[in-house]
């Protein structure tokens, strides 16, 4: 809501600049989006009197005008507006002036005719299209006849006022009105404020003979109407138009403007009906019936059902309650009798109706937040009073009342001890009482106990905590002390799972992978690729796009998306890891379980080429090295083994391995299948994914000290030819099993299957290291053990020792 600084000043004696006032509101009450003074940035824009208008010789729409701008000689200005006429007072941007959008106006020629300045439309000096009176939307604006040529136009148009745009939180519906804002400011600045009290003159007939309301109090706790007859529809006076357009409303006519003005002032939405268009004298507030239709003021057509609340006459709905009036009973230039409606509708109904019909109006916004239920009659009376003053209307005697449920004010007990205990302050009772009273609350005290009666207009305050907020904000958050919690000590430590997750990240970063965070919501296709266990997919009910519609069941595809993003931007070397959750769902369960995973993906080279080293493209063994090093860091108590897996559809059948601990599969790694890589538009990419939760849950090996032997080690190399099917794992397992007591390690140092090796065979070479921890090894002992291994290799694996 845009609230006028000048309007506030009419009621409150404040000696602060608009920006400071806005800052104070923001610090104490509600957020402020903006403070705008419409004349700011404009220069040399004055009143002009159009002395003559002649057609431009070379144009069918331009006119040559002589305009008195209060100087010795009139200015000649060429104007293209259709509504320019002799005798008008107009807005003139002089040569050298600045209009909206920081545009400079200079002397110029238009189709050969010199033009000294410009006659302006309101839009050209910064007005939004939405607030310009309909008559002037497509032409220049005409100022009142008593304007003085040469004067700045700003004051005539209310442009020197400052407008503070309040972003009102859902709880502070009271701030959507001048009166509510004034009451808050009165407390903030600790100044008295007297609000206007309407004085309606009822000079007409009794309303009871002319109008009867039948309202369902469950739908509308309050529903009231007044009748004003003999109304003359005219444009509103300037002061009222200015109030409205400065608040963002288009002036329409006196009656409609009055209803908007009263809403701004009191926060009470009103609706003006043309009483003569009613079918009969009865008005109903009821649920709509299926099949009923209503055309609203904005000419929108709505199919109604029994969820909607409507105002109806004897025949049909005439308004969508609390949202918008109907077209058939709307105020026109011919209207003479106005029925003014002031009501309270249940916020829930209004919110749903506004949503259902996609009609979010200023009225519905206020009903949704709750309006002042004690101020309905005041607002109605104020509107009737204004219709007498501004439209010569005759207010009929009495108010037609359909329902009249005014709630009881909240009465809240509060103790000073509690106030200070929660706020951390040492406020005195008198101070607290004063703050509450300055907000218009009534406080009864007994010792340090208070009983606070909250005015009905503050529908956000029900419990002591609500009062604490009022006290704290008016007292000032800056004034609160700054302390830290005290009390019983607590330990702040990470759980072992959290420590392991941190260690996981540090380990993989140390191994050269950058941490990525990808989207967990993905496409249906990607969600179910690279699956490590069967699962039903989990779909969003109303996704925003198919790109993010299903919960991922793997982490790898997110990383492939990331690689694709990099590849498309010519970043060729990408090494990423991600720690995040996958979502597995069992059929029959709505809710998936969440499992922590860790995944990595590398494309291009991990170690970029330097001037002294060539680039080496990532391969299976590099990613295996990373996985092995990471698993070593995690110190899982158990053998880690790798088994070829040719069956994962998204993976290269010959370059993929399952990762097992104690024979239990915890993940996979290898090369992404070239057809999948192609789908992602990426090059050769190696990935791994591990069930991190499984790693967390597995028993770990503690670090331990192993004495470093003082006795020398003896090494023996062995090279052999074996059939292609024999794996390194088999050979190493055999050597380790048969290597004897002193075998410390087996290390592969060469693999060769080139031209010198017979087809179907490969050559492998290992270094075996022997050591006795307690004495120097005898060469013979080693030779014996070594020969035993050689024999076993020949016998068991068909190795040909070279």
Partner 1 sequence: MSLKDKLDELHQRGLAEIKKSTDLKDVNQVRVSLLGKKGPITEVLRGMRDLDAEERPKVGAFANEIRDDLTAALTKRREELENAVLNARLANETIDVTLPGTPVAKGEPHVIQQIIDQIEDLFLGMGYQVLSGPEVEEDKYNFEMMNLPKNHPARDMQDTFYITKEILMRTQTSPMQARTLEKHDFSQGPLKMISPGVVYRRDTDDPTHSHQFHQVEGLVIDKHITMADLKGTLQVLAHELFGDKFDVRLRPSYFPFTEPSVEADITCFNCGGKGCNVCKNTGWIEVLGAGMVHPNVLKMAGVDPDVYGGFAFGVGPDRFAMLKYGVDDIRNFYLNDVRFLTQFTKKG
Span 395-454, contacts to partner 1 by CB under 8 A? 421-425
Cβ-defined contacts of 482-486 (< 8 Å, 24+): 483/424
Q: Tell which positions 266-295 bind partner 1, by CB under 8 A.
A: none
Q: Tell which positions 66-125 bind partner 1, by CB under 8 A.
A: none
HEC per residue, 580-593: EEEEEECCCCCCCE
Distance of CA 776 to the CA centre of its chain: 74
Which of 101, 542, 755, 760: binder of partner 1 (CB under 8 A)? 542
Residue 773 CB, nearest distance to partner 1 (Å)?
A: 35
Q: Tell which positions 459-498 bind partner 1, by CB under 8 A.
A: 463, 465-466, 468-469, 472-473, 477-478, 480-495, 498
Q: Are the C-beta atoms of 660 and 592 separated by less than 8 Å?
A: no
**Cβ closest to partner 1, residue 138 vs residue 539:** 539
- Strand spans (E) along 56-129: 63-68, 75-79, 89-99, 103-105, 108-110, 113-115, 118-119
Which of 60, 590, 702, 780: binder of partner 1 (CB under 8 A)? 590
**Cβ closest to partner 1, residue 55 vs residue 571:** 571
Q: Are the C-beta atoms of 243 and 261 separated by less than 8 Å?
A: yes
Which of 610, 614, 663, 760: binder of partner 1 (CB under 8 A)? 610
Which of 276, 509, 724, 750: binder of partner 1 (CB under 8 A)? 509
Measure the CA–CA gap between 387 and 110, rounded to whole angstroms: 47
- With contacts defined by CB under 8 A, name the span among 270-278, 386-394, 543-551, 776-784 that binds partner 1: 543-551
Q: Tell which positions 189-248 bind partner 1, by CB under 8 A.
A: none
10 Å CB burial of residue 147 (0-12, 13-18, 19+) is buried
Q: Are the C-beta atoms of 310 and 271 separated by less than 8 Å?
A: no
Residue 656 CB, nearest distance to partner 1 (Å)?
A: 23
Residue 163 CB, nearest distance to partner 1 (Å)?
A: 16
Residue 12 CB neighbours (<10 A): 18
Is residue 366 within a helix (H) or strand (E), and if so which, with residue range?
helix 362-369
**Cβ closest to partner 1, residue 5 vs residue 141:** 5
Which of 150, 235, 237, 512: binder of partner 1 (CB under 8 A)? 512
Which of 108, 451, 514, 701: binder of partner 1 (CB under 8 A)? 514
Residue 420 CB, nearest distance to partner 1 (Å)?
A: 9
Q: Are the C-beta atoms of 167 and 30 separated by less than 8 Å?
A: yes
Asked if 612 is part of the footprint of partner 1 (rule: CB under 8 A), the reply reads: yes
Asked if 518 is part of the footprint of partner 1 (rule: CB under 8 A), the reply reads: yes
**Cβ closest to partner 1, residue 612 vs residue 675:** 612
In degrees rounded to 5, what are phi and psi of residue 7? -65, -45
Which of 10, 31, 138, 428: binder of partner 1 (CB under 8 A)? 31
Which of 259, 538, 691, 693: binder of partner 1 (CB under 8 A)? 538
Which of 27, 86, 737, 791: binder of partner 1 (CB under 8 A)? 27
Asked if 588 is part of the footprint of partner 1 (rule: CB under 8 A), the reply reads: no
**Cβ closest to partner 1, residue 352 vs residue 738:** 352
Report the chain's terminal Cα–Cα distance, integer Å.
Answer: 91
Is residue 631 within a helix (H) or strand (E), and if so which, with residue range?
helix 620-634
Q: How many residues bind partner 1 (CB under 8 A)?
A: 98
Residue 182 CB, nearest distance to partner 1 (Å)?
A: 18
Structure tokens at 501: 């997750």
Measure the CA–CA gap between 465 and 731, rounded to whole angstroms: 74
Residue 624 CB, nearest distance to partner 1 (Å)?
A: 15
Asked if 591 is part of the footprint of partner 1 (rule: CB under 8 A), the reply reads: yes
Asked if 787 is part of the footprint of partner 1 (rule: CB under 8 A), the reply reads: no
Measure the CA–CA gap between 566 and 514, rounded to whole angstroms: 13
**Cβ closest to partner 1, residue 216 vs residue 573:** 573
Instruction: Tell me the Cα Rg of the chain.
Output: 42
- With contacts defined by CB under 8 A, name the span among 393-401, 406-414, 537-545, 643-651 that binds partner 1: 537-545
**How many alpha carbons fall within 13 Å on the CB side of residue 162?**
14
- With contacts defined by CB under 8 A, name the span among 73-81, 193-201, 571-579, 753-761 that binds partner 1: 571-579
Q: Which residues are CB-neighbours of 636 under 8 A, at least 6 positions away?
A: 661, 695, 698, 699, 700, 701
Is residue 496 within a helix (H) or strand (E), and if so which, with residue range?
helix 496-510
**Cβ closest to partner 1, residue 498 vs residue 783:** 498
HEC per residue, 416-452: HHHHHHHHCCCCCHHHHHHHHHHCCCEEEEECCEEEE
Q: Tell which positions 669-728 bind partner 1, by CB under 8 A.
A: none
**Cβ closest to partner 1, residue 30 vs residue 694:** 30
Which of 145, 446, 544, 741: binder of partner 1 (CB under 8 A)? 544
What is the length of the chain? 802
DSSP string, 244-260: HHHHT-----HHHHHHH
Measure the CA–CA gap between 477 and 577, rounded to whole angstroms: 44
**Cβ closest to partner 1, residue 66 vs residue 171:** 171
Q: Tell which positions 336-375 bind partner 1, by CB under 8 A.
A: 347-348, 351, 355, 368
Which of 517, 629, 748, 757: binder of partner 1 (CB under 8 A)? 517
Measure the CA–CA gap between 276 and 288, rounded to whole angstroms: 22
Which of 319, 551, 682, 789: binder of partner 1 (CB under 8 A)? 551
Q: Tell which positions 151-180 bind partner 1, by CB under 8 A.
A: 169-172
Residue 208 CB neighbours (<10 A): 12
Asked if 188 is part of the footprint of partner 1 (rule: CB under 8 A), the reply reads: no
Query: For 645, left (φ over 0), alpha (ψ -120 to 50), or beta?
Result: beta
Asked if 511 is part of the footprint of partner 1 (rule: CB under 8 A), the reply reads: yes
Q: What is the DSSP letter of 242?
A: H
Structure tokens at 665: 């599969």
């Amino acid at each position: 809501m845009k609230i006028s600084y000048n309007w506030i000043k009419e009621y409150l004696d404040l000696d602060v600049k608009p920006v400071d006032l806005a800052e104070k509101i923001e610090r104490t009450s509600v957020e402020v989006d903006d403070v705008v003074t419409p004349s700011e940035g404009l220069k040399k824009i004055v009143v002009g009197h159009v002395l003559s208008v002649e057609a431009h010789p070379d144009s069918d729409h331009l006119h040559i005008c002589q305009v008195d701008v209060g100087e010795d000689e009139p200015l000649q200005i060429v104007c293209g507006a259709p509504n320019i006429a002799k005798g008008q007072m107009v807005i003139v941007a002089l040569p050298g002036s600045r209009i909206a959008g920081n545009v400079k106006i200079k002397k110029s020629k238009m189709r050969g005719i010199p033009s000294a300045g410009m006659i302006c439309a309101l839009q050209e000096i910064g007005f939004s299209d939405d607030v310009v009176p309909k008559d002037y939307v497509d032409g220049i604006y005409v100022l009142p006849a008593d304007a003085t040529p040469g004067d700045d136009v700003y004051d005539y148009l209310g442009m020197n006022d400052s407008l503070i745009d309040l972003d009102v939180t859902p709880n502070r519906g009271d701030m959507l009105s001048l009166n509510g804002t004034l009451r808050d400011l009165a407390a903030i600045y600790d100044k008295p404020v007297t609000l206007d009290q309407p004085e309606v003159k009822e000079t007409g007939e009794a309303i009871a003979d002319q109008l009867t309301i039948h309202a369902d109090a469950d739908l509308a706790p309050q529903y009231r109407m007044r009748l004003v007859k003999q109304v003359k529809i005219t444009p509103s006076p300037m002061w009222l138009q200015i109030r409205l357009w400065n608040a963002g409303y288009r002036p329409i006519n006196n009656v409609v403007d009055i209803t908007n003005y009263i809403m701004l002032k009191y926060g009470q939405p009103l609706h003006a009906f043309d009483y003569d268009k009613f079918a009969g004298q009865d008005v109903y507030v009821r649920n709509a019936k299926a099949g009923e239709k209503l055309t609203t003021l904005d000419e929108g057509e709505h199919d109604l059902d029994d969820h909607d609340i409507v105002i109806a006459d004897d025949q049909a709905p005439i308004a969508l309650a609390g949202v918008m009036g109907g077209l058939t009973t709307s105020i026109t230039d011919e209207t003479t009798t106005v029925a003014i409606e002031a009501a309270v509708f249940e916020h829930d109904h209004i919110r749903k109706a506004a949503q259902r019909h996609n009609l979010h109006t200023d009225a519905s916004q206020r009903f949704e937040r709750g309006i002042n239920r004690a101020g309905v009659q005041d607002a109605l009376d104020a509107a009737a009073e204004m219709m007498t003053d501004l439209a010569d209307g005759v207010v009929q005697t009495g108010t037609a009342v359909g329902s009249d449920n005014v709630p009881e004010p909240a009465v809240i007990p509060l103790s000073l001890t509690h106030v200070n205990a929660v706020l951390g302050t040492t406020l005195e009772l008198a101070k607290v009482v004063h703050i509450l009273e300055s907000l218009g609350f009534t406080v009864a005290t007994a010792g340090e106990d208070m009983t606070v009666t909250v005015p009905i207009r503050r529908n956000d305050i029900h419990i002591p905590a609500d009062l604490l907020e009022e006290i704290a904000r008016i007292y000032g958050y800056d004034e609160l002390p700054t302390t830290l919690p005290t009390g019983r000590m607590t330990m702040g430590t990470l759980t072992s799972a959290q420590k392991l997750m941190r260690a996981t990240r540090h380990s993989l970063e140390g191994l050269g992978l950058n941490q990525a965070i990808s989207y967990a919501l993905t496409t249906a296709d990607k969600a179910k690729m690279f699956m490590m266990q069967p699962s039903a997919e989990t779909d969003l009910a109303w996704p925003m796009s198919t790109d993010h519609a299903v919960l991922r069941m793997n982490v790898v595809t997110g990383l492939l998306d990331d690689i694709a993003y990099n590849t498309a931007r010519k970043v060729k070397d990408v090494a990423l890891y991600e720690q995040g959750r996958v979502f597995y769902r069992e059929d029959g369960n709505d809710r998936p379980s969440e499992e922590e995973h860790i995944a990595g993906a590398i494309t291009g080279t991990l170690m970029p080429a330097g001037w002294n080293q060539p680039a080496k493209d990532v391969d299976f063994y590099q990613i295996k090295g990373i996985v092995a090093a990471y698993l070593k860091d995690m110190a899982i108590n158990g053998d880690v083994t790798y088994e070829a897996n040719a069956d994962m559809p998204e993976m290269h059948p010959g370059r993929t391995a399952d990762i097992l601990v104690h024979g239990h599969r915890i993940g996979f790694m290898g090369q992404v299948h070239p057809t999948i890589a192609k789908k992602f538009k990426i090059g050769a990419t190696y990935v791994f994914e591990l069930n991190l939760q499984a790693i967390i849950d597995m028993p770990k090996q503690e670090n331990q000290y192993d004495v470093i032997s003082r006795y020398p080690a003896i090494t023996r190399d062995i090279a052999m030819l074996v059939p292609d099917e024999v794996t390194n794992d088999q050979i190493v397992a055999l050597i380790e099993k048969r290597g004897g007591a002193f075998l410390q390690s087996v290390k592969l140092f060469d693999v060769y299957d080139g031209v010198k090796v017979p087809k179907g065979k490969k050559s492998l070479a290992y270094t075996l290291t022997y050591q006795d921890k307690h004495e120097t090894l005898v060469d013979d002992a080693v030779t014996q053990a070594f020969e035993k291994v050689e024999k076993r290799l020949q016998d068991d694996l068909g190795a040909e020792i070279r």
